[in-house]
Amino acid sequence: MSLMMRSLSVLALALLLVGCQKGTDDLREWTDRVRDREPEPIEPIPPIRTPEVVAYEAMEMRDPFQLAGRAAEEEEEEVAAEEGGGLRPDPDRRKEYLEGFPLDTLEMVGTLTIDGSQYALIQDNESVVHRVREGNYMGQNHGLVLNVQPSHVEVRELVQDGRGGWSERRVRVAMAED
């Protein structure tokens, strides 16, 4: 029986090879025709144009982004006065943990009195409760806790204006309602 199977498989292989030979004549003719054709010409690369050289002559003119005349001098004096004094955060102060959270994500959840000192219980957006009292900082805008009341906490934030100065903003963080 195995001899019969071998014979059939050899016969099937021979028929398969004969079948593949017959259908390739038209393919060979087409490839020969394409190979014998003249190649189409390739368009030449366009020449590289050199840019026109232009001299910049407006170096001595007024900067269009600066105010002209007296108004510019007054603005410079204002900025100099703001830089010299006024409110500004202490760059050398060590940041407190609650300064890593925006003030609107912090929530007052209660108060606590320890040895006569009033503390506010502030919950961050990770549901951790922290104690703060006057002099602590919270919020991302250098928010100094000014006053702790049973119903709210008063915070003074320092916000930078568009001219490099700082302005004060008073905010209340109210007790959360259940």
> How far apart are the C-alpha atoms of 128 and 145, rounded to whole Å?
19
**DSSP-derived secondary structure letter, 146:** E
Q: Per-residue confidence at 178, pLDDT binned at 50, 70, 90?
A: low
**Are 129 and 135 within 8 A, CB to CB?**
no
Q: How many C-beta neighbours within 10 Å does residue 122 have?
A: 23
**Beta bridge mates, 158:** 168
Amino acid at 71: A
At 8, the pLDDT band (50, 70, 90 cuts) reads: confident
Question: Residue 77 has what pLDDT?
Answer: 57
> Token digits for 28?
């060979």
pLDDT at 120 exceeding the cut of 90: yes
Q: Flag whether pLDDT at 163 surpasses 80.
A: no
User: Phi and psi dihedrals of 29, rounded to 5?
Assistant: -60, -45
- Categorize the per-residue pLDDT at 13 as very low, low, confident or very high, splitting at 50, 70 and 90: confident
pLDDT above 80 (res 20): no
Question: What pairs with residue 81 in β-bridges?
Answer: none
| CA proximity to 107, closest of 172, 50, 23 | 172
Q: In this predicted model, what pLDDT tens digit does every residue of 60-103 receive, in sequence order?
A: 887 777 766 655 556 655 555 555 456 788 888 899 999 999 99
User: Quick one: fold of 97-174?
Assistant: SH3 type barrels. (2.30.30)
